Amino acid sequence: MEKFPIPSNVEDLKRIQTECGKKIVETDRVDLNKIRYIGGMDLTFKDLKKNPTEALVSLVVVDRKSLKPVDIVIKHTKVDFPYIPTFLAFRELPALLEVYNQAKIKPDTYFIDGQGKIHPRRCGIASHFGVETDTVAVGVAKSHLYGKFSYPCSKRGCFSFVKDPKTGEILGAVVRTKDNTYPVFVSVGNNISLKSAIKLVLETSKYRIPEPTRLAHNVLQKERKKLGW
């Protein structure tokens, strides 16, 4: 992959994101009935706003039928791109690609802890990853980044759309994965429809966070403790 430009000119970064956003495919590449393995990806930093810093990145591949992990990849790496809000993909993508390349069982779909199309330039980390690898990717974020929305009903399965405040375009959805619990923000990363993304997230959610990314997060927290972070 190309080395990202030094962010002395933020306009260069915006251009890359805008071009990425135009490449997103919002139709199902894979029949939902044929998806067996879902990979959850997450990343944590020793010091979030320090640069350079160390990072841990994980990929946990889950069997869709049992929601149990069948492959786990953890990588301790270094990050040398600064922390800039809405440009986190430039900081995180190289690390995600490291574990992507090491997986023994290749997922049919990737869930990434972050935004997909719900982004000012339509290209959050999940879309950047999906476009770069040409895989099926879904953004599952724990917090709001961009767009207008109303909270859905408090019951599991309820959702409402996140829309661009300027154009009214649907960017993703706010999905209630557990009764009376704060929702997650689901959006297309690449090669999947929003309808299918929502369905997969709900199907794989036993708690608030779907199992693939929840387990990816948990293995990182254990590794952080081992390292004394």
Residue in the structure block whose two tokens are 């301790």: 76
Quickly tell me which residue has 């135009």 as its tokens: 22
pLDDT at 6: 57
pLDDT of residue 4: 58
Question: Is residue 16 within 8 Å of residue 25, measured between CB atoms?
Answer: no
Sheet strand arrangement including 37-45: 69-79, 53-63, 37-45, 109-112, 137-141, 184-190, 170-175, 159-163
Question: Which H or E run contains 199?
Answer: helix 194-203
Res 210: pLDDT: 98
- 129 within 8 A of 92, measured Cβ to Cβ: no
- pTM (2 d.p.): 0.95
Q: Are the beta carbons of 139 and 132 closer than 8 angstroms?
A: no
Q: Which domains does the chain have, with CATH numbers?
A: 10-227 (3.30.2170.10)
Rounded CA-CA distance 112/98 in Å is 14
Residues of the chain with pLDDT under 50: 1-2
- Write down the pLDDT at residue 9: 81
Per-residue pLDDT, 206 = 97
Report pLDDT for 3: 54
